[in-house]
Structure 1
Amino acid sequence: MKFSVIISTYNRENILPMCLDSLVTQNFPAEDFEIIIVNNNSTDRTEEVVESYIKKYPDINIKYYFVPRPGQVYARQIGILAAKNEILSFTDDDAILVPDWLNEIKKVFMINDKVAGVAGKIKIKWDETPPEWIYDYERQLGRLDYGSEIKIEPGLYMNAGNLSIKRDILFEVGGFNPEMVGEWLIGDGETGLWKKLYKKNYLIGWAPAALMYHYQSAKKNATVEDIERRFHNNGICIPYNIYAVDREGFKPLIKNSFYAAKQWMRWSIRKIKYDILENEKNKYYAIFRKAFYFAQISYTFKILFNREFRNMLGNNDWSINFNKK
């Protein structure tokens, strides 16, 4: 069983080496995996960083591609199409993988040949001690934990920071859904991929020892603003699925926006209440819920009144549906 590890990166010249260091030191035969780094239009020294690893580790198959078109989904497309091996393993440019990462993923695939994909455990690695409240929201930063035992069942969610999938199956379901495309957050990314696998009842494995540490900056990521942004992005997934995935049309979209408006008002009132009571924990949660519902309203208006945006949603050029070689 051979692996293609795919990393899309953008302006992470200082963080990317941590990820690459953890990959070039894997306890796995060098001839059985390749590392594919896709630079999604970075303006820093990312290319020089990758070239230095290619020179330093000639025995490891490291491939580098530059994709000028904005959008992680397009970067992943190139990585997927460039991959030569049967298992595609996706991780982030701010990931630190344990030395037996690939071995542990392989172990779960070998248990049952019907396994379509494998999710690995994700823990948050802070650069410094963050404020206490953030630990309740580490899931928003990618933390994933289904326990310490290997399991195989339909419907297990896979986070793209630690996601491995059979290449043929990824092609069959059309790959990832879009996320950021230029300045617009279009869709639901890895969640969309998971939903497509779930609808087909594919088996997903859990590899608890295939651990990824997700490096996070306390000053940047342990902030109300960053978690609010993540709740906003999650909210967008609701109208995106109604309109672009399930193709239900305008009526259900508008109905959902009225519900979202009602909920937004409800959480706005609660936020005022918690401000008065000086209840910081509940106030933060109210802020995040407001962001979740407001995103649905604003996204719906963008669909209804922005033709260019509607056309982009209907374009579907991020779908992986190319003929397999």
Structure 2
Amino acid sequence: MDISVIICTWNRCDLLRQTLQAFGGLCVSADVEWELLVVDNASTDNTHEVVTEFQDLLPVRYVFETRQGKSNAANRAVRESSGKILAWTDDDALVSSDWLTQVLTVFEATQADIIYGRVEPWWETQSPAWFTEQMSGRFALLDHGDECRVMSPEEGYGYGVNYAFRRSVFKLIGPFAPDLGPNGGLGFGGEDTLLFRKAHEHQLRVVYSPDVLIKHFIPRERCNRSYFRRRQWRGSRDELRMMRLRHGAPKGMLGLPRYRYRQAFSDLIKLSKETLVGKYDKVFHLELRVIGFAGLFWNAVKSSCRGFFFFRKPVQDQSSQGPSGLDEREH
């Protein structure tokens, strides 16, 4: 099998239908052997029925994962898939007609271990007035320019809506961390970021290509400030977990790096100045960073007092135990 395309989904069957319809428009060479694996993370809607609708149109396979959490679904996908390359997208994305072809082309041309691509918005409504380039990442939008190139850790990471790994990557750096990522509508993320960071630590070749293009759905309810304030506050729990999974408890007050205190103070000063001169819409991202630090600080306090992570005991980083224990296929 050349490539397995993976979608992990939870209770978004209507959006999933549109995503699968876009896959029906893929232009794929007849000599490419591929599969589309949909991992249902214990949905209670009509996800199974929607996938069944496309079985005559697409090489799609349905898998039901009972353990809640996107990371659990992703790890199940790795075990179930057969491709030498694993390409990931989401249940709220529209692939371009040449997406799969471009993924394979970039791997062959660059000898990459990991590739990720451009993500453009698919707005349900108009973009909000406070949407700026600095907010793009919070909508999982990505554009690193028009040049295909090898990326350094400092240049950022891809998003789960549009990246692809060689299977060998998982054998080297281990599975997705089950303690990170969305979980039944809760949770913030971080599972993809942690995987990219491990890849760079192992000096793997990470390549960005603007031609690997996907559109990402942005619903109306995400186009308001209150949504992002809540998400930023709640997401600080996962950020703390990710920090500790990677480094343990770093030096600094409450185990938080000193630079985070300096950055939060600087953000607060800039936010205050810009708000006073009527430019608040342009600096909403600074407010969110301040909220994020406040949440991080609060969770660090709770962690320090209780002696374990906020509300959940951290899962040991399985990648430190040697082989991933996923599927040791040789491709």
Q: TM-score, normalised by structure 2?
A: 0.84
Out of 125-134 and 227-236, give the one that drifted further.
227-236
Change (3 A) 1:107 1:258: closer
Offset at residue 145 of structure 1 (A) = 1.1
The AA in structure 2 aligned to 1:300 is A
SS at match of 2:54: helix
Task: Give unpaired runs (5+ residues) of structure 2.
Answer: none
Which residue in the other structure is 2:40 paired with?
39
Offset at residue 292 of structure 1 (A) = 1.4
Offset at residue 240 of structure 1 (A) = 2.7
Out of 120-129 and 276-285, give the one that drifted further.
276-285
Which residue in the other structure is 1:180 paired with?
182
- Aligned mates of 2:189, 2:26 — CA distance in 1: 33
Which residue in the other structure is 2:140 paired with?
142
- Aligned mates of 2:301, 2:116 — CA distance in 1: 35
Which residue in the other structure is 1:117 paired with?
114
The AA in structure 1 aligned to 2:128 is P
Map Cα deviations across residues 83-133 of structure 1 (whole Å, 9 max, x no partner).
Answer: 1010000101101000100111111111133x1011111001101212222
Out of 253-262 and 208-217, give the one that drifted further.
253-262
The AA in structure 1 aligned to 2:295 is A
2:200 maps to which of 180, 198, 201:
198
Change (3 A) 1:188 1:28: same
Which residue in the other structure is 1:280 paired with?
280
1:92 equivalenced with 2:93 (yes/no): no
SS at match of 1:48: helix
Change (3 A) 1:302 1:174: farther
- Aligned mates of 2:206, 2:109 — CA distance in 1: 12
Which residue in the other structure is 2:7 paired with?
7
1:324 equivalenced with 2:325 (yes/no): no
- Aligned mates of 2:206, 2:233 — CA distance in 1: 28
Change (3 A) 1:133 1:250: closer
Map Cα deviations across residues 215-268 of structure 1 (whole Å, 9 max, x no partner).
Answer: 111x21111123334544664565334422212x37547142787567667766
- Aligned mates of 1:144, 1:66 — CA distance in 2: 30
- Aligned mates of 1:277, 1:169 — CA distance in 2: 49
Superposed CA RMSD in Å reads 3.0
Instruction: State percent identity of aligned pairs.
Output: 22
Which residue in the other structure is 1:291 paired with?
291
Which residue in the other structure is 2:217 paired with?
215
Do the aligned partners of 1:77 and 1:318 also contact (CA within 8 Å) in 2? Answer: no
- Aligned mates of 2:325, 2:81 — CA distance in 1: 15
- Aligned mates of 2:125, 2:282 — CA distance in 1: 25
Task: Report the count of equivalent residues.
Answer: 319
Offset at residue 135 of structure 1 (A) = 3.7
Do the aligned partners of 1:220 and 1:226 also contact (CA within 8 Å) in 2? Answer: yes
Change (3 A) 1:323 1:224: same
- Aligned mates of 2:283, 2:143 — CA distance in 1: 27
- Aligned mates of 1:275, 1:175 — CA distance in 2: 43
Matches within 5 A, 1:294-313: 294-306=294-306, 309=309, 312-313=313-314
The AA in structure 1 aligned to 2:10 is Y
Q: TM-score, normalised by structure 1?
A: 0.85
SS at match of 1:165: strand
The AA in structure 2 aligned to 1:38 is V
- Aligned mates of 2:87, 2:66 — CA distance in 1: 23
Offset at residue 305 of structure 1 (A) = 3.8
